Amino acid sequence: MSGTVAVYQPHYYPRLHYLARAHQADVFVIYDDVEFSRRSRHHRAHIDYYEKEWLTVPVAHTGQETLITETRVDMSVPWPARHLQTLVGKYGSQATDLEPFYRRLCVSLVDPETLRDDIDRVGELTADSDIGALLDDWVRIDTRWRDRLEEYEVPELRAEKERLDERIGERKRADPAADIDDLLADAAAIDERLETATDACRELKERRNRTLVALSKSLGHERDVDRLPLYELWNLDGVDPERWTSDVSLADVTVPLVEELLERFDVTSTVVRSSEVGLEHPGDASEYLAALTNHFDGDAYLSGAVGYENYLEEDPFDDRGLDVLVQDWTPSWEDGNVCALDVLYDADDPGRYVTEGGE
């Protein structure tokens, strides 16, 4: 084929110009076998929401020259739940369509209420020979844990604590200078009793949660059961998130997001990942970009203005008889070159804002 090839590193929720460059190319190569940079948009998205300016995917410690495909995401912290919460807060309920993306990064755990209400159906969802024993263990431990909660009056103590909190709030609203020492003393006493009760129940709760993880893994990801809400996955006493969460690379996060956004903005260019092309990187960025363009039988490489001015050398392209073009695009969206989500969730026809503004 003859046409234009663009190559761009994967960004976390990229801006409009990113999608526009993909649209302007016949082949768009997601450049995922390039060195990761902590200061880049490789793992950060600009989000203007109250005092939050950036959404940052936390990454494990990386040494120098670690490729994006080799960069591991730190799944010991509940960043998927926090990011989803921020996005729904900014864009409204329509942004809940992003939940499946975040959930697929995590091991899905069965909601305990589902186990209690319909344990027979859960048992029919897998051919795992150990499922019966796992279900029996979970029921036995969960029952003992709930009995222990009742024994130590934990539900009653929590209800009393909520009533005290409400009374403190009511008194302060009625008179900000009111004396609440008596209520605070009662609340402190309840907190002490709750701490004692929680300590007495902790060992059973931890065993119950570990059994829940083992049971959920035996069911797999695609089973038709109610799953534990995303934000609760990191609050399981006795379960180390680093041991039960998935091993996720940064490319596992950003590349599928870029691909989905291109589809949702009606970009029809051929999209490929550089790590899957099979070309050996010569160690020189311009040489590699020219080789990629040549690999796809392109006759021109489409560069961004910043890349062209700062590092691109034209000799490797000239040697292959390839033209070098610089993206010429001005955003037609009234707020400019914003995060693609701003347009996706606010425009009737998001695609027009990446197809307009070019040459």
* Confidence (pLDDT) at 70: 92
pTM attached to this predicted model = 0.82
| Beta pairing class for 4-8 and 27-30 | parallel
Q: Which CATH number fits domain 124-221: 2.40.33, 1.10.287, 2.60.120, 1.10.3470?
A: 1.10.287
The amino acid at residue 325 is: L
Which CATH architecture fits 4-75+248-355? 3-Layer(aba) Sandwich (3.40)
pLDDT tens digits, one per residue of 265-315: 999 999 999 999 989 888 899 999 999 999 999 999 999 999 899 889 999
Q: Which percentage of the chain shows pLDDT scores above 70? A: 95
Convert the pLDDT of each residue in 219-256 to its tens digit: 765 566 778 888 888 888 888 877 777 789 999 999 99
Query: Smallest Cα–Cα separation from 19: which of 346, 253, 351, 272?
Result: 351
Sorted by where each begins, the domain ranges of the chain are: 4-75+248-355, 124-221
Reported as a pLDDT band with limits 50, 70 and 90, residue 357 is: low
Q: What backbone torsions phi and psi does residue 76 show, to the nearest 5 degrees?
A: -80, -10
Q: Which residues contact 254 (CB under 8 A, 6 or more apart)?
A: 10, 11, 12, 32, 42, 43, 57, 68
User: Would you say residue 101 has pLDDT above 70?
Assistant: yes
pLDDT value of position 127? 60
Fold agreement between 4-75+248-355 and 124-221: no
